[in-house]
């Protein structure tokens, strides 16, 4: 009995150690948890700051995107209106032409025309000069397929110049071998330009001029009329398609041979570096003589129909 009631003398010490150890573990765990929680909280705060920044950036991006969308919509509307704007412009040109022909206008008209392009090496420079002087002209185009040519077709049309047909191939011997050969080359180029720009050309210049068609001309013209085409020759030229000369000679060929005519159609070729050099003085000289420079349009009296 005595033995039974005898307390283990080590028990309190063991208990204390165990308790202390137990509290120690709990204390350690609690501290660890607290530290972890603080770290997590700090991360959350950081994330919230990041999120706020991201939201701010997102808001700015959305605002920018909305502004871009509005600009795109505006440009698309302008693009949609472009054909109508072009038509209105041609109507105004026609009124001016009528007034010039009636002798009631205080100006004359010159239609600058460029044949055989586009040319990668030079056409862009022609367009730069025309842009610089605010001149719209007419480009009688062949069918060319490089990417640079593609950009030129677009630039010519989209800056307001008139795109016209000069046949697909310009192969004189072949196209003037028969009426059908000629017409199919014209139609092929019409389709080429239609596909490229979504427009239907309705003005043609015969390669070499309409007289090159000789005996075929009347039949060709009748078929062109059925296709909705008119054709244009010229009454003024730099001479760049015929002979080499200096820019001054080319300039003078145009400026001294106007003969005071009320309406000029000036033939040039945008492959010519010489005409390119002469172009600024040709533009300035024609304007000094009272000419207004316009692009050709189907209803012009200079378009034979
Ligand atoms: Zn030509």
**pLDDT (tens digit per residue) in 126-175:** 999 999 999 999 999 999 999 999 999 999 999 999 999 999 999 999 99
* Cβ count near 21 (within 10 Å): 10
Label residue 3 exposed, middle or buried (CB < 10 Å: 0-12, 13-18, 19+).
exposed
Q: CA 140, CA 268: separation in Å to the nearest integer? A: 10
Question: 172 near 146, Cβ under 8 Å?
Answer: no
Per-residue pLDDT of 67-114, as tens digits, reads 999 888 888 888 788 889 999 999 999 999 999 999 999 999 999 999
Q: Average pLDDT of the chain?
A: 92
Residues facing residue 204 across a β-bridge: 165, 231
Q: Report CA(253)–ligand 1 centroid distance (Å).
A: 19
- Asked if pLDDT for residue 281 goes beyond 80, the answer is yes
Give the pLDDT confidence score for residue 37 in this predicted structure: 82
Q: Report CA(266)–ligand 1 centroid distance (Å).
A: 13
271 band by pLDDT with thresholds 50, 70 and 90? very high
Strand ranges for 201-275 from DSSP E: 203-204, 230-231, 236-237, 263-269
Give the pLDDT confidence score for residue 9 in this predicted structure: 66
Higher pLDDT, 242 or 32: 242
* Mean pLDDT value across residues 27-56: 81
Among 36-40, 159-163, 175-179, 218-222, whose mean pLDDT is lowest? Answer: 36-40
Say what the pTM is.
0.78
Q: Report CA(29)–ligand 1 centroid distance (Å).
A: 94
C-alpha dihedral, 115 to 268 to 260 to 108, nearest 10°? 60
Q: Report CA(207)–ligand 1 centroid distance (Å).
A: 4
Among 13-22, 178-187, 269-278, whose mean pLDDT is lowest? Answer: 13-22
Q: Report CA(170)–ligand 1 centroid distance (Å).
A: 7
Q: Report CA(82)–ligand 1 centroid distance (Å).
A: 29
Per cent of the chain over pLDDT 90 is 72
Q: Report CA(256)–ligand 1 centroid distance (Å).
A: 24
* Mean pLDDT value across residues 9-33: 69
């Amino acid at each position: 009995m005595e033995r039974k009631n005898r307390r283990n003398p080590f028990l309190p010490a063991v208990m204390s150690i165990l308790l202390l150890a137990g509290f120690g573990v709990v204390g350690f765990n609690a501290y660890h948890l607290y530290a972890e929680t603080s770290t997590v909280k700090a991360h959350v705060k950081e994330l919230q700051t990041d999120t706020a920044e991201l939201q701010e950036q997102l808001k700015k991006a959305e605002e920018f995107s909305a502004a871009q969308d509005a600009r795109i919509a505006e440009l698309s509307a302008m693009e949609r209106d472009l054909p109508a704007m072009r038509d209105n412009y041609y109507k105004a040109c026609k009124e001016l032409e009528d007034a010039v022909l009636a002798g009631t206008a205080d100006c004359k008209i010159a239609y600058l025309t460029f044949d055989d392009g586009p040319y990668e090496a030079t056409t862009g420079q022609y367009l730069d000069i025309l842009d610089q002087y605010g001149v719209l002209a007419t480009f009688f185009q062949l069918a060319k397929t490089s990417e640079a040519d593609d950009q030129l077709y677009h630039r010519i049309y989209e800056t307001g110049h008139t795109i016209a047909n000069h046949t697909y191939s310009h192969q004189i011997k072949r196209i003037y071998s028969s009426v059908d050969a000629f017409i199919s080359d014209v139609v092929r180029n019409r389709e080429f330009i239609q596909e490229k720009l979504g427009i239907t050309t309705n003005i043609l210049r015969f390669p070499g001029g309409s007289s090159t068609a000789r005996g075929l001309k009347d039949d060709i013209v009748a078929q062109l009329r059925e296709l909705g085409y008119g054709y244009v020759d010229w009454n003024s030229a730099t001479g760049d398609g015929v002979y080499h000369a200096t820019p001054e000679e080319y300039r003078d060929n145009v400026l001294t041979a106007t003969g005071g005519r009320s309406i000029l159609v000036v033939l040039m070729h945008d492959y010519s570096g010489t005409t390119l050099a002469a172009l600024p003085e040709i533009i300035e000289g024609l304007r000094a003589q009272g000419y207004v420079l316009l692009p050709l349009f189907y209803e012009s009296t200079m378009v034979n129909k």
